[in-house]
Structure 1
Amino acid sequence: MTPPTTRTWSRRGHTPVVRVRGRSRRRLSVAALLCYKAGPPSRLIYRLCPDARPDGRKSFSWTDYRDLIQTAHHQLGGPIALVWDNLNTHLTAGMRRCTADREWLTVTQLPPYAPHLNPVESLWSVLRRISQANRAFADPDDLITAIRRGLHRLQYRHDVFDGCLTTTGLRKPP
Structure 2
Amino acid sequence: MSHPDIAALVKSEKSARKRIRYLALLHFTEGHSRTAIASMLKVSRTSVNKWVSTYLSLGLSGLNDKPNPGRPAKLSSSQLATLAEFVQLKSLSEQGGRLMAKDVGDFIQSEFGVTFKQTNLYRLLHQLGFSWITTRARHPKQSEAVQESFKKFPMAMILNTPGHVALDRIDVWFQDEARFGQQNTTTRIWAEKGTRPRAVKQQQFESAYLFGALCPATGATEAILAPFANSDYMHEHLKLISAATEFGRHALVIMDGAGWHQRDLADDFDNLSIVKIPPYSPELNPMEQVWQWLRQHVLANRSFKGYDDIVEQCSITWNTFIKEPLRVMQLCSRQWAKMNS
Structure-1 residue corresponding to 2:291: 124
Tell me the SS of whatever aligns to 2:260. Answer: helix
Give 1:123 shift. 0.8
**Judging changes above 3 Å, is the alpha-carbon distance between structure 1 residues 141 and 34 closer, same or farther for their aligned structure 2 residues?**
same
Distance 2:339 2:273 in 1: 17
Please identify which structure carries the higher helix content: 2
**1:79 aligned to 2:260?**
no
**Judging changes above 3 Å, is the alpha-carbon distance between structure 1 residues 36 and 17 closer, same or farther for their aligned structure 2 residues?**
closer
Tell me the SS of whatever aligns to 2:198. Answer: coil
Q: 1:44 aligns with which of 210, 213, 221?
A: 221
Structure-1 residue corresponding to 2:215: 35
Deviation by residue 1:41-79 (Cα, 9 ceiling, x = unmatched): 3111000013xxxxxxxx222122122212221222231
Alignment-mate amino acid for residue 189 of structure 2: R
Give 1:24 shift. 1.6
Work out the percentage of aligned pairs sharing the same amino acid.
19
Distance 2:260 2:305 in 1: 31
Structure-1 residue corresponding to 2:145: none
**Judging changes above 3 Å, is the alpha-carbon distance between structure 1 residues 101 and 141 closer, same or farther for their aligned structure 2 residues?**
closer
Tell me the SS of whatever aligns to 1:89. Answer: coil
Tell me the SS of whatever aligns to 1:159. Answer: helix
1:134-173 mapped onto 2 (5 Å cutoff): 134-166=301-333, 168-170=334-336, 173=339
Alignment-mate amino acid for residue 321 of structure 2: L
Structure-1 residue corresponding to 2:236: 67
Distance 1:71 1:139 in 2: 27
Alignment-mate amino acid for residue 199 of structure 2: V
Q: Contact 2:206–2:307 at 8 Å: present in 1 too?
A: yes
**Judging changes above 3 Å, is the alpha-carbon distance between structure 1 residues 100 and 131 closer, same or farther for their aligned structure 2 residues?**
same
Tell me the SS of whatever aligns to 1:18. Answer: coil
Q: Contact 1:79–1:105 at 8 Å: present in 2 too?
A: yes
Q: Contact 2:209–2:229 at 8 Å: present in 1 too?
A: yes
Q: 1:4 aligns with which of 172, 186, 205?
A: 186
Give 1:148 shift. 0.7
Q: Contact 1:36–1:42 at 8 Å: present in 2 too?
A: yes
Q: Contact 2:212–2:221 at 8 Å: present in 1 too?
A: yes
Provide TM-score, normalisation by structure 1. Answer: 0.75
- Aligned residue pairs total 156
- The higher relative CO (CA closer than 8 Å, separation ≥ 6) is in 1
Alignment-mate amino acid for residue 313 of structure 2: A
Deviation by residue 1:86-120 (Cα, 9 ceiling, x = unmatched): 11111xxxx33332454422221100111111011
Provide TM-score, normalisation by structure 2. Answer: 0.41
Q: Which has the larger radius of gyration?
A: 2
Structure 2: runs of 5 or more not aligned: 1-181
**Judging changes above 3 Å, is the alpha-carbon distance between structure 1 residues 67 and 18 closer, same or farther for their aligned structure 2 residues?**
closer
Q: Contact 2:242–2:269 at 8 Å: present in 1 too?
A: no
Tell me the SS of whatever aligns to 1:30. Answer: strand
Alignment-mate amino acid for residue 83 of structure 1: I
Tell me the SS of whatever aligns to 1:87. Answer: coil
Deviation by residue 1:118-156 (Cα, 9 ceiling, x = unmatched): 011111111112221332334343332221101111222
